[in-house]
Amino acid sequence: MACKATAISNLRPLVICGPSGSGKSSLLVKLMCEYPSKFGFCASHTTRNRREGEINGIHYRFTNVHDMQKAISEGKFIETAEYGGNLYGTSKEEVAKITNRGMMCILDVEVNGVRQIKKSDLNPWYIFIQPPSIEELERRLRSRRTETEESLKERLRIAKNEIEYGLEPGNFDKIIVNDEFDSAYEELKAFVDENILEKETE
Ligand code: ADP
């Protein structure tokens, strides 16, 4: 008897975490292309400059320091972080917008964001994307051509701490090593199929 993934069993959000350059965006884009009606990406707010090709409201909600600090003081964020001199955060309103549409909300957050979310009542699934090695992470960040030499060094330094937290038992429901992209994606899809999408027998 065939088994087919058909419906979302609940609306627990999905938190994807991993060092910058570990492949979170690439994996998420593929997942959302495969399940366009099931997942909605929660664009973080950020005060950092928009990179070429990034669309406001899709990749991030670009804002300024004054507005962001005001919203933070009003308790409008689930988690916030300062990274590379810029502010980032997940707003409660963005998550609610997606959940209210009956879609599962995907959050792409740093380790400190995970720590804060764990203290909130969001109760998501947690997945950690692990790079195969620091050397490979550096190669990928360089080939992405989005970093200055200084920010690259900073990202690699932070990555070491993030990997330590990611591998600590109990912090994540699933750890995926993104060595070969297609295999990593299959692992992500298998986790989503098993745990998140309801199985219905035909
Ligand atoms: P993140 O969203 O975690 O910062 P990205 O998805 O932007 O990471 O990936 C960083 C870079 O690494 C991109 O240029 C991407 O194409 C590349 N990449 C991602 N996964 C792999 C992989 N398994 N093998 C080789 N390159 C990869």
Question: Band of the pLDDT at 3, cuts 50, 70, 90?
Answer: very low
CA 159, distance to chain mean position in Å, is 15
Element (H, E) at 81: strand 77-83
pLDDT surpasses 70 at 2: no
Enter the pTM of the model.
0.87
pLDDT of residue 171: 97
In the chain, which residue ranges form alpha helices assigned H by DSSP?
Answer: 24-34, 65-73, 92-100, 111-119, 134-144, 149-167, 181-195
Residue 144 CA, closest ligand 1 atom number: 14
Residue nearest to atom 22 of ligand 1 (CA): 181
**Would you give the DSSP letter of residue 171?**
S
157 is catalytic: no
Residue nearest to atom 6 of ligand 1 (CA): 23
Residue 178 CA, closest ligand 1 atom number: 23
pLDDT of residue 147: 85
pLDDT of residue 10: 55
Q: Report which listed range, 11-20, 128-137, 192-201, is most confident.
A: 128-137
pLDDT in tens, 114-141: 999 999 989 999 999 999 999 999 999 9
Residue nearest to atom 23 of ligand 1 (CA): 181
Q: How far is the CA of 30 from the centre of ligand 1 (A)?
A: 12
18: closest CA among 150, 190, 172, 180? 172
51 is catalytic: yes
Residue 26 CA, closest ligand 1 atom number: 6
pLDDT of residue 198: 62
Q: For the chain, give the percent of residues with pLDDT over 70.
A: 93
List all residues whose CB is within 6 A of at least one atom of ligand 1: 18, 20-26, 140, 143-144, 178, 180-181, 184
pLDDT of residue 62: 98
3-state secondary structure 31-75: HHHHCCCCEEECCEEECCCCCCCCCECCCEEECCHHHHHHHHHCC
12 is catalytic: no
Q: How far is the CA of 140 from the centre of ligand 1 (A)?
A: 6
pLDDT surpasses 50 at 7: no
**CB-based contact 15:124 (threshold 8 Å):** yes
ipTM for the predicted complex comes to: 0.92
pLDDT in tens, 69-102: 999 999 999 999 988 799 999 999 999 999 999 8
Q: For the chain, give the percent of residues with pLDDT over 90.
A: 77
CA atoms within 13 A on the CB side of 172: 25
Question: Band of the pLDDT at 110, cuts 50, 70, 90?
Answer: confident
Residue 27 CA, closest ligand 1 atom number: 6
Q: Mean pLDDT throughout 28-45? A: 94
pLDDT of residue 113: 93
